[in-house]
Structure 1
Amino acid sequence: MNHLFRELAPVTTDTWTMLDDEARTRLVPMLGARKLVDFTGPLGWEHSATSLGRVGGVVSTPAEAVIARTRAVLPLVEVRAEFSLARSELDAAARGAIDVDLSPLDEAAARLATTENSAVFNGWDAVGFSGIIPATPNAATPRDSDVHRFAQQVAAATEQLKRAGIEGPYGVALDSDTWINTVGGNDAGGSPLLTHLRKILDGPVEWVPGIEGAVVVSLRGGDFVLECGQDISLGYASHSSESVTLYLEETLSFRVATPEAAAVIR
């Protein structure tokens, strides 16, 4: 038994497999931030802090002519999204039903993914994370209301990074509205906008729920680091005669090493 306590749940092994598959199916498309930054891990549930490579001030010691300084670390944060499934639905899954109502799991996956994406791009003051958007010193590129001009704005953002000495390839994070317009739209010349953006960036175009606008980032490596202790996992909380309460949980930290390696379009 481990800290997820899955063995205590009134859930069969095959049903756990089905729940894991459903969570993975929902999470992978939504975890856009981790596709645009360096992802380290998983390093395990016991991993509690990220080394910052720095030390604090000198403190007193029990002996003379000896100095001591504490190492600076960034604690990982435990993020959990709980949800409840009807036992009748879980029983139906165990009997082989293919139309099991897993909407509470889907909603929890969306909440957790949005939290992770927001932590990376918007920051999270309560846990000491500096986000990409507030950290970058680059002036934001104004967003044109004409969607056909979006490719030019992305090109302007990449040019801004190149002028700052930040090499590519590049990727771009898009909020939901921008993603819809990008996937379904054309550029000013009539070419598919998504295809044009990928040529400009030489990298991915990602949907990142949890942000506003668009952010172009360098993918050269070493600029933004998402460190994972426990990767997203399903665990058991409690149950009654009517429902089973489960949760999705992860531990993570995020650091910005090179603030100028991102350009915002808003």
Structure 2
Amino acid sequence: MEFLLRDDAPFTREQWEKIDSALINSARQVLVGRRFIKIYGPLGAGVQSINIDDFGTVEPGNADFLGDADDRPVKTVGRRFVEIPMVYKDLQLSWRDLEKSRQLGLPLELSPVAGAAAICAEKEDKLIFLGDTSQGYEGLLTATGVQTIAKSDWREGENAFRDIAKGIESLIAKGYLGKFVLTVSPNLYMQLQRIQPGTGLLELDRVRSLVNGNLYQSAVLGSDKAVLVCAEPQNIDLVIGQDMVAAYLGSEKLNHSLRILETILLRIKRKEAIVVFQ
């Protein structure tokens, strides 16, 4: 990957490995969307757009003896191409820290790398869950055409359990089966940390059982938000051109500038596979 300009940097191979490790470890602590969305790629940094297909209305299958009944096949009825955005954050490593590492054999200070990677990871999740209306990108909570359910007060009774059960029932009724995933705001996650009267169970555990353990919290949702999705790849996937990586930008006043970057896009193929609790 010559575009990363790593050969121009004054870092040893071992130091680049440490940079990559710090980047990956920091991003993994933040990322939520990637824990349940199937990845499509990586396709390469040069891939700038991807198709999103519309399958129209899918009819039920037929059953007869000769198999000669008229049948409408599942096929693409519309296709549009969407640009894959780049997520990035720049950082600087001090030349004095680099010299200290070289002279004394001490580890290079990589806190700026970890911090920039965490910022990129948070931005990735914001694109996945919230989209970016200014750029024309839809997220799980902001896409038009998704199913919506009025959220009850999850601090009372078994409202949370009933809401999620209702959402799953709605997905199944429309033919969406497979991996159900629930992502909630941190304050809703805390509201589930209570014993449900008469059961001896946390409301959190009851809700988690409905989605086979696929329950996550994410700060990017803000407050009082929840989204349930049938996270099969025929419904949604995460397109990755270039996975998160560090590139060398050059030196300025002896200090060394790097950029953490990735190119990613949430591809929503079947919007009714998403239930937003409002």
TM over 0.5: yes
For the pair 1:160 / 2:170, whether they are aligned, the reply is yes
* In the alignment, structure 1 residue 139 sits paired with structure 2 residue 151: no
Contact 1:224 1:258 in 2 (8 A): yes
Check whether the contact 2:52–2:267 (CA below 8 A) recurs between aligned residues. Answer: no
* 22-31 or 131-140, which deviates more: 131-140
Aligned to 1:114: 122
Partner of 1:126: 134
- Structure 2 residues not aligned, in runs of 5+: 55-78
Residues 130-186 of structure 1 show CA distances to partners (whole Å, capped at 9, x for unaligned) of 22222243223315251774444333332332233322321112334444565xx24
2:183 corresponds, among 173, 177, 195, to 173
Unaligned runs of 5+ in 1: 55-70
**2:111 pairs with 82, 99, 103, which one?**
103
Deviations 1:93-135 (A, max 9, x none): 555435x543322332222112211212222233332222222
Moved over 6 A (4+): none
1:141-220 alignment, distance < 5 Å: 141-146=150-155, 149=158, 150-179=160-189, 185-188=193-196, 189-192=199-202, 194-212=204-222, 213-220=225-232
Match for 1:229 among 221, 241, 245? 241
Aligned to 1:265: 277
> Partner amino acid for 1:245?
S
Partner Cα separation in structure 2 for residue 53 and residue 132 of structure 1 = 17
Measured after TM superposition, the shift of residue 225 of structure 1 is 2.2
Distance (Å, rounded) in 1 between the aligned partners of 2:264 and 2:202: 36
Q: Greater shift after overlay, 11-20 or 171-180?
A: 171-180
User: Could you tell me which amino acid in structure 2 is paired with residue 201 of structure 1?
Assistant: V
- The alignment-based identity, stated in percent, is 23
SS at match of 2:124: helix
Deviation at 1:219, TM superposition (A): 2.4
**Superposition pairs of residues 35-74 of structure 1, within 5 angstroms:** 35-52=35-52, 72-74=80-82
Bigger shift: 153-162 or 86-95? 86-95
- SS for the counterpart of 2:170 is helix
Distance 2:156 2:12 in 1: 49
Match for 1:204: what amino acid?
N
Deviates more, 1:128-137 or 1:139-148: 139-148
Which deviates the most, 218-227 or 18-27?
A: 218-227
Q: Is the 1:38–1:222 Cα contact (8 Å) retained in structure 2? A: no
Q: Compute the displacement of 1:203 (Å).
A: 4.5
Quick one: distance in 1 between partners of 2:8 and 2:202?
51
Q: Which residue of 2 aligns with 1:25?
A: 25
Contact map agreement 1:226 1:252 (CA 8 A) in 2:
yes
Give the direction of change, closer, same or farther, for the CA distance of 1:8–1:21 in structure 2 (3 Å limit).
same
SS in 2 for 1:15: helix
Q: Secondary structure at the match of 1:27?
A: helix
d(CA) in 2 for partners of 1:155, 1:253? 30
SS at structure 2 position matched to 1:131: coil
8 Å contact 1:151–1:193 — kept in the other structure? yes
> What does residue 268 of structure 2 align with?
256
SS in 2 for 1:47: coil
Letter in 1 for 2:47: H
For the Cα contact (< 8 Å) 2:92–2:258, is it kept in 1? yes
1:11: Cα distance to partner?
A: 1.9
Measured on the aligned residues, the alpha-carbon RMSD in Å equals 2.7
Are 1:170 and 1:203, in contact at CA under 8 Å, matched by a contact in 2?
no
Cα distance in structure 2, aligned partners of 1:177 and 1:158: 22
Aligned equivalents of 1:3 and 1:109: distance in 2? 19
* Conserved? CA contact 1:36–1:217, under 8 Å: no
Question: Number of aligned pairs?
Answer: 247
Q: Amino acid of the residue matched to residue 274 of structure 2? A: A
Q: 1:43 to 1:11 in 2, by over 3 A?
A: same
> Residues 93 and 167 (structure 1 numbering): CA distance in 2 closer, same or farther, change over 3 Å?
farther
C-alpha distance in 2, partners of 1:17/1:107? 17
